[in-house]
Every structure is written in C-alpha cells, then in structure tokens.
Amino acid sequence: MYSFPILLEATLNGLLTGAVYALVALGLTLVYGVLHIINFAHGAFLTGAMFAVWAAFTFLGVDPYLAIPVLTLAFFALGYATQRFVIGPASHGDDGNILLVTLGLSIVIENGLLAVFRPDTRTIATNYAFDVVEAGPILISQARLFGFAGALVVAALLWLLLARTDTGKAIRAVAKEKLGASLVGIDVRHIYAVTFGLGCATLAVAACLLMPIFYVNPRVGQSFVLVAFTIVVLGGMGSIPGALVGGLFIGVVESLTGLFLGDSLGQIGIFIIFILVLLFRPSGLFGARA
Amino acid sequence: MMLLRAYLPILILLALLAAIPLVVTSNTALNFVVFVLIITLAAQGWNLLGGVGGQFSFGHAAFFGTGAYVSAILQYSYGVNAWAALGAGILSGAALGWIIGFLSFRAGLRGSYFALVTLAFAEVLRILANALPITGGAAGMLLKLNIGFGNLQFTSRGAFLWLALGFVAAGLLISRAIADSRFGAQLVAVRENEDAARALGVDVLAVKLKAITVSGALTAAAGCLYLQYFLYLDATIAYGVWISVEVLLAAMVGGRGLVLGPLVGAFTLHGVGDLTKQVAGGIPGIDLAVYGAVLILVVAFAPGGVLGLIHRLLSGLTRPRPAKEAQ
Amino acid sequence: MLEVKDITMRFGGLVAVGGASISVPQGSIVGLIGPNGAGKTTLFTVIAGFQKPTAGKVCFEGEDITAQPAHVRARLGIARTFQIVQPFAGLNVRENIAVGAYLRHARRADAYALADAVGHRLGLGADLDKPASSLTVAGRKRLELARALATAPKLLLLDEVLAGLNPSEIRDIIPVIHAIRDEGVTILMIEHVMQAVMNLCAHVHVLAQGQMIAQGTPQAVCADPQVIEAYLGKGAAARIQAQGAAHA
C-alpha cells in the first residue's frame, strides 16, 4: 500500500492536471450545449493553439502568459470563421454531417500541422518552469498552480458572460430553442459562430497555461480531447460547472490509476468511466436526466 | 434481368481487378492494390452499419484490431492453423460487434453518443493491447514467415491480391444481397426514421444488432488479411484511430450506403493520396490532410460521394439530395 | 377488439391523460376528439406502444398488450399514422410503402408488389418513383396511410390524417377511409375536421384535459353541454342555449 503523503501528492497532482482538462472541456461543453454537436476538431484546435504559443515564444520571445490576450482573440476569430464559413455551410444543418465535417477538420488541421512542423516533440524553456511552492511535505509546481487558477478564472468568466451579458442571453436562448430565438430576431448563425469562437478562445487560454509545463507535437490534442469528451459526458453535456467538477475528478482518477496500475494503463480508467457513463447515465453524473 | 443488372457492375469491376496481377508486375503497384483491397473490405463493414444503417461508428478499429489480434494470438501462441485462425478472427469481430451493439443500442445511444462510445471502446482495446503480455505489449507481434497456402502466406503478391479480392467479392455479394432483402430495407428505414420504422413493425434493436454484427465480422476479416500480408501487428496499427478514419472515409467518399461505395471510395482516396504524396514529395501527413479536406468537400458538395457524382453526370439531372432536407 | 382501460400518463407533475378508457368494437370507425392539448396523441402513443403508461391497461383482441413494445403491436395488427408525418425522406414512395409491406412478406418481390398495389389504391400510383420528400402535404398524408395499410393491420390508428388538407382533398380521402373499414379494418381516429367525424364515425369519445368527458354518437356528443364548454369555455353551453331559446 502507498503511504499517505504519496497518495496526497498524487491526488493533488491529479487536481492540478484535472484543472487543465477542465479548461479544455469547457469549450467543448459550451459548443455542445448550444449547437448540440460534438466538435471532433476540438483537440486539433488545441494542438494548433499550442503550436502558436510555441512559435510565439521561440520566434518572437513572447512569454506564454503574456500571449494569452492576443491568442485568445485570434482563436476566437478563427473559431468564429470556421463555424460560419466551413462547418455551417458544409453540413446543411444535418447533425450527422456536422460530426463528419468536424472529423474532417481535425484530420486536416492535425496533418497540416504535421506537414509544417514535422512529428518532432517540442517544448519551451521558460526560466520559471521548475519553480515550486512548498506546502508542508509536498512541493507543488508553480506553473501548474497557475494552470489551476486559470481554469477557475476562465470558468467564472464564461459563466458571467452567459449569465450577465446580452450575448450570453442570446446564446442561452439559441441553446434552448433556436427557432424561437430566430423568431425574436436573434441571428442564430451568428450566435453559433460566436459560441464556436468562444470554445476555441478557451483553448487558446488552455494552450498558454499548458505550454510552460507540457510539450507539443501534432498529435498532442488527441490525448486531451478524448479525456475532454469523458469530462463533458461525465459533467453533463453542456454544463459548465459539470465540466469543471468533471475535469478535477478525471484528473484525480487518472493520477490514481496511474499510481496503482502504472503509466501505460493510466488512461484506461478514464475510458472505462466514459463508457459506463455513456451506457448507463448519458445525461452525466451531475446533469438532469434528459 | 433485374438480377443481372444489379450484379453486372460488380462482376465487371471484379474481373478488372482480378486481371491486375496478370498485367502488372511492379511490386509497389501490387502492394498498393492489396492494401486498398484490405481497406475496402474493412470499409464494407463500416458501410453496412454507418452508410446503410446511419449509425456512424468512429471506432471500427475495435473490430479490425480484434480480428487481427485473435488470429495472431491463435497462430503465434497456440499454433493454430492460419485458416482456422482467420475464421476465429472473423467470429470474434462478429461477437465484439454484437456486444458493443447490445450495450450501446440498448442504452439508446445514437448520433454523436454512438460515435463517441465506439471510439472509446477502440481506445480501451488499444491501451490494453499495448500493455498486456498476450498481445506482445508495445513491442507488437511478429508472425513467423512460413510460406504456403495452408498458412495463408504467399510468395507472390498477385496470389495474395486474389485472396483479398475474393474477400472483397464476398463483401460485395453480401452487401448486394442485404440491399435487396427485408433486413436491408428495415435497416435503411431505421436510418431514415426510427419511430416510423417501429410503427411499421420493425424491431429497431434487433435490426441494428444484426447490422453491427455483420459489420464487425467484415471489418475483422480485413484485420486478419492485414496480419497475413504484413505478418506484423502492434496496438497502434491494429486499434489505431487511422483505421477507424480510413474505413469511414472510404465509405463516405465512394457513396455512403451504396454497395460499390467502399471499393470506389478506397481506390479514389488512396489514388488521390498517393498522387499528393508524389507531388508534395516527402512532406509527412500531406496525404491525410487531403483526405480530411476530401471528406469535408464530399459532405458539403457531393453527399452521394463519387458514385453519386457519376450517377448525376450520367443521368444529366441533379437528383435531390438524399439527406432529409425538404422537410 | 381494442379495450383501453383507465390509462394514466404522467410526465413529471403533469398529468397528460388521467384514467381514460375507450372501447373500439371490431369493424367500427371510432372517433377521438377533443380540444388541443387534451392528450389525444399521448393516448395514441400509449395504445401503439411508443410510451409505457403510468397506470392502466391496453387490451387487444382480449389479450393484455400493455407490456409489448411498438413493433410487436404492429405485428399483432395495430398500425398507426403520425400526426406530424414521418416519411423516410431519403427513399422513394414505393420503398417507403415496402417497409410496411415487408412486415408480412419476407420476399422482396412480394413486398414490392403489395407496395405498388397499396400505392395505386391510395392514389399514389403516379408518384411511386418520386422521392418521398418531394410529395405535397396531401401526398405525404396518403403515404402515411399507405405505409400503415401495407402492414395489413386489423386496427388502424389515424392521428389527424385530414389536418392540413383542403376541402377537396378531404372529400377525396373520406371514401378511401370508408373503403378500408369495409374491408374489415377497424379504425380509431383522432380528428379535428368535424365534417369528417360526422361522416365517418358511428361513435365518438371526447377527451378534454386528459379526462374522458363524453361519448356517444357524433350528434349527441356535439350537443353535450360539457363538450361545448370544453371547446368554448365555461358558460358557453348556457349562452348557446339561451341564444337558441331567444331565436325560437
């Protein structure tokens, strides 16, 4: 059996990783909640954002944390345009088609990045990458704490945006009843694109918070996106608090299964939870029964 | 006459493909055809469930890999004859199909949910195959080279091409027979509108289960052929996302739900992919990027795939889109 | 033939149908009428097996079928049409009807022959090769009816097959329904077009706010004060009576 400090450290590490997972899942759940589609290109967009952070640091010397505002705006615009000009028109409003188009997008983006950046794994070397905070017997990586805090802030901002702004109200209206929303003068296509843009913007933030502690290669998004799907399903499709709690939970599960079963099986716990939830409680553990 | 008209295009295509080893001697070209035929067979499995039945699976690697691994383990660890192992591989694909179908269709999973759950099943199997000793773990499995008809190993690529073609032919005949049967009509009805199908006495769950079982068997057969041709297997090959995507693409690009769709789609796709590779030189991933773009273009502009386009050209009319649009 | 006993259907706190009973004798055309939102379609979905009732029983030919799923009921001989038509949009008209015909015919040739026959009979002969999505509203209603008939039902549940049709289309389809009954198919129909109800149904049940409030001949039911109030609001019956008295 493992000693208490080891378990505690694994749990804490799981929570910190889980926060980043939650951040990736937030965008996915937002898009699902409004467009009622699963965006299979989510992971590829994350990879793209991570490469953008890498390129900004490597070629322009921009610190990842300072890159947040610009990249967030850029990815909002990218997401907006993708939904408005590619996914929307190409899928003719059919859900099955949307699924296929986002799958196609993910293949294009991922392999486009592979063609440009080659399969090499890259990291950025910041001078604070190894700074730690001491908490009793445990050392916690400072960058991972930033990631944790960032996830909470983004979740709070998203929640505020949805609850308090006119755009947020319009988004919620479209999510509930798009026909009704269009009848009262809301431009549904615009709102779809805004939502998709927001989803991508959260990925830009996630990428900036991830890069100081993680690596990037053209396939890196895949490992995150399956985890993010699990979180979204677990937290209830479309639920922002659900994504946050689900993310933290999954982070801990991964960390503990890794501890007990070894790294190569670390993710299997996640997928088994995923399958079980889908089969037995598809509305999520925290969501209302559909 | 009806029968002849339905089967004639199939026979012509098969005859053309069968003639390839007689005129082509280039190993590269023969490798290409064999590989594409294996993809075709796997895609025929996907097409039955996804194209005809409308249940989009994003995890057909689960069947491909299971067929391949079951066959490999039986030969490698238990010395079972290759043909018997092939049969067992196909059966295991059918069984896995039934199990995944039973679990997910009974739970009422459709659309994105079904796509996700199939993807997750394939990933679980990939992680397991990568970690367990029986599958050789991350090192994979290498079958002993032992040429002979009884071992399903051939010196000549042409002979293997005929073997693969035989399987593709069986796949075509099965697909054709299903398309003309009560089961086929009910499966299409389920794709188009489950409630209406139910009202007309269609047992939706049973129809879907039948479809995913046959689908799993066909794709598993492709996995077995892959093993016999390359004699090597690891988790990323057998259960990788690549094969799930390949089979979906082939069926979609050729013409979803159509009997000849997977064959036409697989050749079109790999033809375009190889061309791109030659033009773009050694840039990695460029062929796959083109595949993704082709998928988007097909969904956007040619929902009937290549065969749909040909049909439109031949009839000179624009046929209404098969998607439910006019509602 | 069909006995619906004390069916209650609750959705959360909402009681859509509360203890409704209907009896449909063999060979009859029975009408089910009532104001919008009365629970008529909900009752139909329960009879056809698409939803399990919260309480109550559905018996068909003397057997309790409450636990049977929809496709089994179709095999037993209960066919339904949908109020909002549900064509298989990607298929042509013949293929649509054939799905119904396959229920009792395993061979393709038999199923397609029956589909053609039923199609011609319902006036869809010229449209058999057209995509179902290209049909007009009237055409789709006919298709809905044709598919149901192709299953060779003993009991046909018609959910507003006349809604959305113009008067001449209604005039055309009424004899078709009569003819179906004359061949021995029992019919239970939800209908708002009163002219058709008067013409077709010998017996009518009235559902209002989930409760059966009246039954009898169409004429008797229409004169029932409770029915008038259900449609026109409280006090309406008295007002109409007073007006009638004043005119007399």
Q: What is the pLDDT of residue A153?
A: 93
Across C46-65, average pLDDT? 94
Note the pLDDT of residue A288. 44
C-alpha distances in Å from residue B166, one per residue of B85, B254, C244: 18, 20, 84
Q: Note whether A91 and B299 are within 8 A (CB).
A: yes
Domain boundary among C152, C181, C210: C152
Within a domain: residue A287? no
The answer to whether chain C touches chain A by having 3 or more C-beta pairs less than 8 angstroms apart is no
Residue B50's pLDDT is 96
A33, HSE (Cβ side, Cα atoms, 13 Å): 26
Residue C166 sits in a domain whose CATH number is 3.40.50.300
pLDDT recorded at residue C243? 78
For chain C, give percent helix, strand, coil, nearest 5: 45, 25, 30
Of C221 and A134, the structure prediction assigns the larger pLDDT to: C221
In three-state secondary structure terms, A140 is: strand
The domain in which residue C119 lies consists of 85-152
Based on the number of CB atoms within 10 Å of its own CB, is A59 exposed (0-12), middle (13-18) or buried (19 or more)?
Answer: exposed
CA distance A168 to A184: 15
Residue corresponding to tokens 């996914």:
A87
* Domain shared by C72 and C190, yes or no: yes
State the pTM of this model. 0.90
Take residue A114 and report the two structure tokens written for it. Answer: 């592979």
**Assigned token pair, A29:** 């759940």
- Assign A107 to helix, strand or coil: helix
Residue A8: is it exposed, middle or buried by C-beta count within 10 angstroms (0-12/13-18/19+)? middle
Radius of gyration of chain A (CA): 19
pLDDT at C236 over 60: yes
B183 touching chain C per CB within 8 A = no
C98 has a chain B CB within 8 A of its CB: yes
Pairing, β C63-64 against β C155-159: unpaired
Joined tokens for residue C44: 């139909």
Planar angle of CA B278, B279, B280, nearest 5 degrees: 95
Q: Indicate whether C60 and C182 sit together in one domain.
A: yes
Residue A284 confidence (pLDDT) = 66
pLDDT at position C234 over 80 = no
Give the model's pLDDT for residue B34.
96
Q: What integer pLDDT is reported at residue C189 of this predicted model?
A: 94
pLDDT value of position A262: 74
C201 and C131 in a common domain? no
Q: Which of C114, C130, C152 is the last residue of a domain?
A: C152
Report which of B76, B48, B49, B45 is spatially closest to residue B145, judged by C-alpha positions.
B76
Whether residues C145 and C188 share a domain: the answer is: no
Residue numbers in C near B304 (CB within 8 A): none
Mean pLDDT over C39-44 rounds to: 92
**Pair C44, C17 in one domain:** yes
Average pLDDT over residues C175-190: 93
C50 and C22 housed in the same domain = yes
Residue with token string 């329904």: C177
- In whole angstroms, give the CA distance from residue C30 to residue C187: 6
Average pLDDT for chain C: 91
The ipTM (two decimal places) reads 0.90
Q: Which chains are within 8 Å of A by 3+ CB pairs?
A: B
Asked if C136 and C13 sit in the same domain, the reply is no
Count of alpha carbons within 13 Å of A114, Cβ hemisphere only?
21
B320–C148: do the CB atoms touch at under 8 Å? no
Indicate the Cα dihedral angle C87, C91, C97, C100, nearest 10°: -80
d(CA A275, CA A267): 13
The CA distance from B268 to B248, in Å, is: 14
The verdict on C100 and C117 lying in the same domain is yes
Residue B258 near residue B306 (C-beta atoms within 8 A): no
Element (H, E) at A241: helix A240-261
- Both tokens of C246, joined, read 């004043």
Number of domains comprising chain C: 2
- Render each residue's pLDDT in chain A as its tens digit; 290 residues: 577 778 888 888 889 989 989 999 999 999 988 888 888 999 999 999 999 999 999 999 999 999 999 999 999 999 999 999 999 999 888 888 888 999 999 999 999 999 999 889 999 888 887 788 877 777 788 888 888 999 999 999 999 999 899 999 999 898 888 888 888 889 999 999 999 999 999 999 999 999 988 899 998 888 888 888 888 888 887 888 889 999 999 999 888 888 887 766 767 878 888 888 888 876 666 554 33
Of C131, C152, C173, the domain-final residue:
C152
Question: What tokens does B43 get?
Answer: 């895609």
| Residue A286 forms part of a structural domain | no
A55 lies in which domain range?
A: 4-280
| Ranges of chain B whose pLDDT falls below 50 | 319-327
Nearest to C74 among B180, B186, B201 (CB): B201
pLDDT exceeds cutoff 80 at C225: yes
Domain count, chain A: 1
Say whether both C110 and C142 belong to one domain: yes
Flag whether A288 is in a domain. Answer: no
Asked if residues A283 and A236 have their Cβ atoms less than 8 Å apart, the reply is yes
- Statement to judge: residues C222 and C167 lie in one domain: yes
Measured distance CA(B209)–CA(B99) in Å, rounded = 9
Q: Is residue A129 part of a domain?
A: yes
Question: Based on the domain organization, do C24 and C68 belong to the same domain?
Answer: yes
Same domain flag for C232 and C162 = yes
CATH number, domain of A236, equals 1.10.3470
Q: Is A257 left (phi over 0), alpha (psi -120 to 50) or beta?
A: alpha
User: For position B325, what pLDDT does the model report?
Assistant: 38
DSSP character string of B78-112:
H---HHHHHHHHHHHHHHHHHHHHHHHHHTT--HH
Question: CB C90 to CB B185 under 8 A?
Answer: no
CA distance B58 to chain A (A): 9
Touching C (3+ Cβ pairs <8 A), the chains are B
Residue A63 three-state SS: coil
